Structure 1
């Protein structure tokens, strides 16, 4: 894992998003980028805390079965290549969790910047 990430960091991000009025826009942004990446997945999580697990499970499945869709999602979301390179784990579960955090962080940045003023 990256030195700056652990599972608690992902949970803190979700907590921040939960406190915001922009959660529906956040979900819409994630769904839009899933669709742009060619993923036939509809977000089912009704509670923000379930969202992290849902996205991580989706990414784990893509890592094992359709790596091109996994890469397409990273491109669609515009995840930082520098942050991806900080990953120092070969465990597919750790990769899925770390990339989930990066995706949610980037999607939150898009929504937050769009609504901040």
Structure 2
């Protein structure tokens, strides 16, 4: 894992998002970027606690079977290449968890700045 990331950090992010009145907009932004990336997938989780796991499973599938869709999603969300390179693991689960954290963090930034900034 990256020295700047842990599942605790991801939980803190999801706690912040879930305690906000902007959570529905956050889900809409994520769905919009999935669609822009050409990923035919509808988010099923309405509970923030389940969303992280759902996106991890989706990314594992993309890493193993549709790598271009994975890359398209990172691009659509605007995840920094430098941040992706910070991961010091080649395990697909580690990669998916880290990418999920970066994706959700970036989506939250977009929604938060648009509404609070």
TM-score w.r.t. the length of structure 2 is: 0.98
2:71 corresponds in structure 1 to 71
- What per-residue deviation string (whole Å, max 9, x for no partner) do you get for residues 86-114 of structure 1? 01001100000000000000000000000
2:46 corresponds in structure 1 to 46
RMSD: 0.6
TM-score w.r.t. the length of structure 1 is: 0.98
- Structure 1: segments with no counterpart, 5+ residues: none
1:6 corresponds in structure 2 to 6
Q: Counterparts in 2 of 1:7-26, with a 5 A limit?
A: 7-26=7-26
Q: For this pair of structures, how many residues does the alignment match?
A: 117
- Structure 2: segments with no counterpart, 5+ residues: none
- What per-residue deviation string (whole Å, max 9, x for no partner) do you get for residues 52-76 of structure 1? 0000000000000000000000000
1:89 corresponds in structure 2 to 89
SS in 1 for 2:89: coil
- Alpha-carbon offset, residue 46 of structure 1: 1.5
Residues of 1 paired with 2:74 and 2:83: CA distance?
11
Q: Which runs of 4+ in 1 moved over 6 A?
A: none
